[in-house]
Every structure is written in structure tokens, then in C-alpha cells.
Structure 1
Amino acid sequence: MAATFTLIGTIEPFLHCNLKKGDSIYCEANAMVMMETNLELKGKLQGGIMQSLMRRFANDESLFQQEIEAVHGEGDCLLAPTLDGDMQILDIGANQYTLSDGAFVAASRSVDIRANIQRNLGGAVFGDTGGFVVMQTEGTGQVVVSGFGSLFEIDVEPGKDVVIDNGHVVCWDSRLQYNLSVSTSKKKGFMSNIINSVTSGEGMVLKFSGKGKVVICSRNRDSYQGWLQSVLGSNSGGRGGGGGLLDQIM
């Protein structure tokens, strides 16, 4: 029987995993919170050195991911993502997913998270989805993703395209077609769209079409980090020393 994932708690939950002897999972670096002594934790170049380097380029991840294996018998572990927010367990098999930067938390041993060259050059140049390289699932099992804030699932249907702010996208069904632009307007030219994006604060948006699911989060990580830095930076101004308060505590 394969390892099973369960979410525990309603606000910023733990990810609980039960492993039978001989089973293993892998997860993002520093995700492990607690594990029983029947389990062993080690670093692993998941998918080999080239895939690890591409994930490092795409997601700014550590070269070594954590692997948790039930070596001495059945055991439980608790995992948590780096940023505040919710998690969602995705079934992988008939549906495969593309993951945004920082979305990956953990996966079954039978699922591979591979770095692939992005087919959408617009997303490669402007996007927050790994630049020219994106993370895509392969295999059968479960993958756990996280997002900043609460998560919500959107069903995209043929003829009902959906436009989502780029910073709120966690992952999407790989069967969906997507295009990235700097505006939701269909009538304006490229420069007009850029000016409108700057003046309205609209930012980059992803337009999804076809049939499949998109998981979104309620908070924009980059916007929050920018706001936090501006607030802490202004509060620490004029005190002297090397940089703002944020630089000292990060």
C-alpha cells in the first residue's frame, strides 16, 4: 500500500503522511516538521543531476530534496510548506499538472516532478512560472501543493475562458491552453496595455482555455513581500547601519 497524505487542521494545516515499511515520499527542502523513528530522512538528487539543476533554475529550489523512507517499519510524519497558507492534495494519473514557482510540497514516490522547457514563450519571458522552464508532473499517485493564503479550485470549461492574476496561480491542469499578457483588455495595443497595467496595478495575467482545473491562492506572494519590505524599510529609515530592518532579519 502506498503512502497516504492527509491534511490536518483548517488554518494553515499540517500535511500528515503515513508510510508502510519500504515506502517513501519526497518533499521540498526543510518541509519535515516531525517524524517517527521508524522513518529515515535523507537528501536526494531527485531525477538525477540535470533534473535537479533545472529545478534549481526553474524554482530556485535546493539541489537536494528531502526523501523520507519507512526503513524500520510503519511510521508517520508531519510536513509543512515554507510560506503561510493552505495546501491541496492532487490525484495524478489521468490528469497531470503544471506547478507555479514554490507550489510543490511533497509527492508520492511513483510521481515525478520534472522540469521541462515551457511551450509558451510569453510565459517564459514575463511569467512567474519558472521562466523558460516549468515544473510538470508525470506518473501516478499524489502531489501536494501549497499557496500563500487560502486555496480555491476553478473549473475551466470550453467557451468559458478564465483570466487570473499571475501571482495568484498555484497550479493548473496541463491539458489547458494558457497565454500570458500585461492586460485583460482585448482592444488595446501592446504599449497601451503596458501603460494600463502600470496605472491600474493590474500586472501580468494568465488566460486559460480548454477544459481542466486551476488552483489559485488568495494572496500574492510577491506583492506581499514588496509591501512588507516598504513598510519595514520606512520604519527603519534614519537609524543608520547596514540596510533596513528587513535586510537584518531575513
Structure 2
Amino acid sequence: MTLQQEIVGNAMQMAVVSLQPGQTVYCEAGKFLFKTTNVTMETRLSGPSGHGGQQQSGQGGGMGGMLRQAMGTAMQVGQRMLAGESLAFQYFTSQGGEGTVGFAGVLPGEMRALELDGTRAWFAEKDAFVAAESTVDFGIAFAGGRTGMSGGEGFVLEKFTGYGTVIIAGAGNFIDLNPADFGGRIEVDTGCVVAFEEGIQYGVQRVGGLNRQGIMNAVFGGEGLSLATLEGNGRVILQSLTIESLANALKKAQGGDKQGPTGGLFSTHAG
């Protein structure tokens, strides 16, 4: 059943979801805004099973089935902990009539509803996920994560499979591209990557070492650039604003950046 939803707002959008009786949607902690009273809310450590969001009871029965279920939950929690994700999901189910739930991202920007038909998975940057139907499976994909985990960059992807609707959010405006339209390969700032379809090959490389340009980058507040290489034929969604650029802009607006071209190493004093 396709999730009935409407994206509303401009600079800071939100998704208003209409749930049919018995229909369930889940989100990560911090993305929920409001709900009607006929919608129940439950917090679980385990992710959806792809079978209506209900955990498979026993998985074979007896103590063995319970142990496998507990081990599976522990592995999911461990993966999310390593990825810096919220450890729990919040589930919302409509009881006795149509219910309404509101969700939003954490930064000013756009939202998008992706429809999964079971043929292709979607990968999303770890902060992009907002909510999804319980028929959509959630997983952690560490593609490109080796560089990120060792370098502290956090290049961890979330993987969505199955059938149904996934709602994502990004900062600024969305830009839709297909590497096949640009010779099969594009390179973008890793902070601009929001989501892409299965079939796109993803890699990360660091540029800007201790050469002349690298020294200038360090002096003026930069420490090199991480580029994501996206290859193949499929949809890619980028965002026009990165968290790093937003944080730097807020820092300057608050007067926190005192080491610009007229300060620090290049400051001059009259006298």
C-alpha cells in the first residue's frame, strides 16, 4: 500500500502522512512532529522486518528462535551505533480510522518521497532518512565507509529495500542527476550526496594535501576536500547546502571566526 503523504512548506518542509487503519510508518528519533490521537506510538530497538513492520515471532519457535531474534536485534543496534545513528525507531500505527502523522528533517531544506517497487534499492546519506512504511527494510551499508570511519568523515550509507514509500530530507535545494548523462561518472563534494539508486558505484577520495594549495586551504579554514565518485546509470539526488558550510556560515554570523584574511597569520598592526 503506497503511503499517502504530502510535502508542505518552503524553506523548512515537512511531510504530513495519512495512515489507513492498521497501516504503520516508522522514523528515527528526532524526526517526529505531531500525530492524531488515534495513532499509537511505540519505540523499538529492532528495525522493520519487511512484513508489515511486525517482528517475526520466534523464527522457528522455542528458545533457539528467540535467541536468533535477540542476536539479530543486537546486530542491528550495533551497526547503527557504529554508524552514529539513533539506536531506536519510533513506530506509528493508525487505530480505528484514518490517522495523521507529521515528520520533518533537522535542517532547512527540501524533502522527497521515494517509491520502492522491489526492483532497486535506494542508498541514502546517514542523516537523510526521515520516515518510511513498515514494508520497507532499513539497513546500514558501509560502502565507502572504510575511508570515512578511519578519517572521521562518517561516510556511512543507509540502505532501503522492499516495497513502499521512503521519505528523505536534505539541506538547501535538491539537484537530480544521472552520471550516465555526463559520460558515466561524476565527482561531487561528499557533503552534497543525499541519496542514489542501486546500480550506482560509490567511492570516496581525499584531495588537497600538504602542497601549496593544501596549506592555503588550512590557513583559510579548510583542510582539504573529500570527493564522492558516482558511476553508472541511475538517479542521484544531491543537496545544494552542506552541513559544514551551514555551520561555518552560522559561526561567522555569531562572530566566531576571527582568523580570516585580516587576522591570524596575516594580521597587520599599525604603529
Give the TM-score normalised by the residue count of structure 1. Answer: 0.79
1:144 is matched with which residue? 167
CA gap of 1:119–1:167, structure 2 versus 1, over 3 A, is: closer
Once the two structures are overlaid, the 10-residue window that deviates more, 102-111 or 115-124, is 115-124
Q: Deviations over 1:66-94 (max 9, x none)?
A: 11111232111211112221111111232
Matched, 1:111 2:130: no
1:3 is matched with which residue? 3
Query: 2:6 & 2:40 partners in 1: Cα distance?
Result: 20
2:68 is matched with which residue? none
Matched, 1:63 2:82: no
Note if contact 1:182-1:197 (Cα within 8 Å) is conserved in structure 2. no
2:78 is matched with which residue? 53
Query: 2:154 & 2:144 partners in 1: Cα distance?
Result: 14
Note if contact 1:23-1:70 (Cα within 8 Å) is conserved in structure 2. yes
Letter in 2 for 1:145: I
2:127 is matched with which residue? 102
CA gap of 1:57–1:196, structure 2 versus 1, over 3 A, is: same
The alpha carbon displacement at 1:230 in A equals 5.2
Number of aligned residue pairs = 227
2:193 is matched with which residue? 169
1:22 is matched with which residue? 22
Matched, 1:195 2:214: yes
* Structure 1 vs Structure 2 CA RMSD: 2.8
What secondary structure sits across from 2:110 in the alignment? strand
Identity of aligned residues (%): 25
Query: 1:156 & 1:203 partners in 2: Cα distance?
Result: 21
Note if contact 1:148-1:219 (Cα within 8 Å) is conserved in structure 2. yes
Q: Deviations over 1:117-149 (max 9, x none)?
A: 43664455445422xxx3211211111111111
Note if contact 2:12-2:108 (Cα within 8 Å) is conserved in structure 1. yes
Query: 1:49 & 1:207 partners in 2: Cα distance?
Result: 33
Name stretches of at least 5 consecutive residues in structure 2 with no aligned partner.
48-72, 259-271
Note if contact 2:32-2:103 (Cα within 8 Å) is conserved in structure 1. yes
Note if contact 1:180-1:206 (Cα within 8 Å) is conserved in structure 2. yes
The alpha carbon displacement at 1:55 in A equals 1.6
Matched, 1:157 2:180: yes
The alpha carbon displacement at 1:194 in A equals 8.3
1:129 is matched with which residue? 155
Name stretches of at least 5 consecutive residues in structure 1 with no aligned partner.
185-189, 237-250
CA gap of 1:196–1:87, structure 2 versus 1, over 3 A, is: farther
CA gap of 1:9–1:228, structure 2 versus 1, over 3 A, is: closer
Letter in 2 for 1:106: A
Give the TM-score normalised by the residue count of structure 2. Answer: 0.73
Q: Compare CA radii of gyration and give the structure with the larger one.
A: 2
CA gap of 1:120–1:56, structure 2 versus 1, over 3 A, is: closer
Q: Deviations over 1:100-122 (max 9, x none)?
A: 12110001111011013436644
Note if contact 1:88-1:146 (Cα within 8 Å) is conserved in structure 2. yes
